[in-house]
Structure 1
Amino acid sequence: MSLFEKQKVVGYWGPVTSSVDWCEENYTHSFYIAEFWNTVSSFAMVVLGFLGILAHHRSLGWRLSNGYLMIVVVGFGSILFHGTLQYEHQMWDEVPMVWTACYLLWVLLQENGYEPIRYGVGISLYCALATYVTSQSKGSTQFYLFQTSFGIVMWSCLWFVWKLYKNVQNNQVIRLFHQGGKFLGLAIGVWLFDSNMCFIYDYVPNPQLHAWWHVLMCISLHYFFVATGFELMGTQQHRITYYANWIPYVQLLDKIE
């Protein structure tokens, strides 16, 4: 279905007003959900966030746990956005993404010895500017300005994570960083394909790559959170263990009975 044909499909929430309409056909599975699979997959962020808080609020402390909490907010915003394709709900997805990225950058700067108040003010000002740019522009301009402002912060975060990774000696942690990197690369690949190659789905079935982007990014973020959190703790009281032998998390040893 072409973009023009997609925009003619009207469901419960009315015509599309968001600055982007993904490749998934609108209102195919429900009159009340604009993009069904993109909406359902957004719950992965909510699940990741709550499980991350549950697993790490003691072992990693409040700063990284707050990062998981902000991912929950992004997840609910993503549900609203993909479920309605309305501009105001799109802001509930994109603005919290900017806030989350800025918060994680502040945490990483502090852990790298940067003065938290001075750089916190600078990050807050950037966050306010990015929020304004994201929420006040329209159409394709809005989409690219958001991607740029969000991308600058996220790639800055990844640079600090890379610095941390280069000094890791623990092979278990190194493997977690590698897993996070692999899932991140795969997630970016499917996002780029789904963002630019919608015309292909006129000839082949749509594998719902944007929905997979949600899931793959959640997996990548969790691997990075666990590896980074463990390294930042830097104590012998912490260890990496696995729930059901496949979901890693950081455990505080003195809590083991």
Structure 2
Amino acid sequence: MADGISSFWGPVTSTTEWCEQNYVYSSYIAEFFNTVSNIPGILFPLIGLVNALRQRFEKRFSVLYISNMILAIGSMLFHATLQKVQQQGDETPMVWEMLLYIYILYSPDWHYRSTMPTFLFIYGAVFAIVHSQIRLGIAFKVHYIVLCLLCIPRMYKYYIYTEDRSAKWLAKLYAITILLGSLFWLCDRLFCKEISRWHFNPQGHALWHAFMGFSSYFANTFLMFCRAQQRGWNPKVVRFMGLFPYVKIQKPKAQ
């Protein structure tokens, strides 16, 4: 804690702290950079949500974008307070978000339509209850990584069967940003003692948040393109002002 600045939220009760000095800029924000770096994770999903609603994509994408925003808001509250309850409000949505990705990735080839969402909903509810009662620690991280790894084979399959070059670039940008973010996250965890002695802290965990904001948007946009192809909606990746990519579709009149 910085000298002369007291904590509005009281003693730290979360099980995890990151390599950022607490309460340096405000008594209301424990980890300033780790808090504000979640802003891209709110703005980008909001843009995606507007596009999904405007073009009447399936509700699964609206729910996914809302899930992205809930996760970013939960992360902001956690890093601002470093309290146990807020930590659960960050970690539980992480798992729910991955369950949504699993559903979107695998449901098109799932023959029993009601079983997958029912199972994933029960799984998410049970996890939330267990996580609220037990501090999972390293078990949570392993569990989350396993859920992420389950998505990789399907994402790769979508990538190799996609011929559109712009859509393939979205998948590549997703991979690049998530790898860079993960690298910064790992360095922040493994080399915190060394980093703390530097005159300048690169804020690796904050960079992880920022890169994940980009990464999730690229992944969502790529999945929207793939799903639109499956539905025969003639999707195209276009760019707003020549920079910001989004999916534009043309549904048959019957739809």
Q: TM-score, normalised by structure 1?
A: 0.89
Q: CA RMSD in A?
A: 2.0
Q: Work out whether 1:40 is the aligned partner of 2:36.
A: yes
Instruction: Please give the alpha-carbon distance, in whole angstroms, between the structure 2 residues aligned to 1:147 and 1:31.
Output: 29
Instruction: Please give the alpha-carbon distance, in whole angstroms, between the structure 2 residues aligned to 1:88 and 1:218.
Output: 23
Q: Is the 8 A contact 1:230 1:238 kept in 2?
A: yes
4+ runs of 1 displaced by more than 3 Å?
none
1:6-25 correspondence runs (5 A): 11-25=7-21
Alignment gaps of 5+ in structure 2: none
Instruction: Please give the alpha-carbon distance, in whole angstroms, between the structure 1 residues aligned to 2:153 and 2:181.
Output: 18
- What is the CA-CA distance between 1:75 and the residue it aligns to? 1.2
Instruction: Please give the alpha-carbon distance, in whole angstroms, between the structure 2 residues aligned to 1:61 and 1:247.
Output: 22
Q: Work out whether 1:251 is the aligned partner of 2:248.
A: yes
1:208-247 correspondence runs (5 A): 208-234=203-229, 235=232, 237-247=234-244
Q: Which residue of 2 aligns with 1:50?
A: 46
Cα 1:49–1:130, aligned 2, differ >3 Å: closer, same or farther?
same
1:49-128 correspondence runs (5 A): 49-57=45-53, 58=55, 60-128=57-125
128-137 or 181-190, larger mean C-alpha shift: 128-137
Question: 3-state SS of the aligned residue for 1:207?
Answer: coil
Q: Is the 8 A contact 1:18 1:86 kept in 2?
A: yes
Q: Which residue of 1 aligns with 2:191?
A: 197
- What is the CA-CA distance between 1:15 and the residue it aligns to? 0.9
- What is the CA-CA distance between 1:157 and the residue it aligns to? 1.9
Question: 3-state SS of the aligned residue for 1:65?
Answer: helix
Instruction: Please give the alpha-carbon distance, in whole angstroms, between the structure 1 residues aligned to 2:111 and 2:176.
Output: 29
Question: 3-state SS of the aligned residue for 1:42?
Answer: coil
Cα 1:157–1:189, aligned 2, differ >3 Å: closer, same or farther?
same
Instruction: Please give the alpha-carbon distance, in whole angstroms, between the structure 1 residues aligned to 2:74 and 2:24.
Output: 21
- What is the CA-CA distance between 1:203 and the residue it aligns to? 2.5
Instruction: Please give the alpha-carbon distance, in whole angstroms, between the structure 2 residues aligned to 1:185 and 1:59.
Output: 32
73-82 or 165-174, larger mean C-alpha shift: 165-174
Alignment gaps of 5+ in structure 1: none
Aligned-residue sequence identity (percent) comes to 28
More helix by share: 1
Deviations 1:14-51 (A, max 9, x none): 11100100101000011110000111111221112211
Q: TM-score, normalised by structure 2?
A: 0.89
- What is the CA-CA distance between 1:109 and the residue it aligns to? 1.7
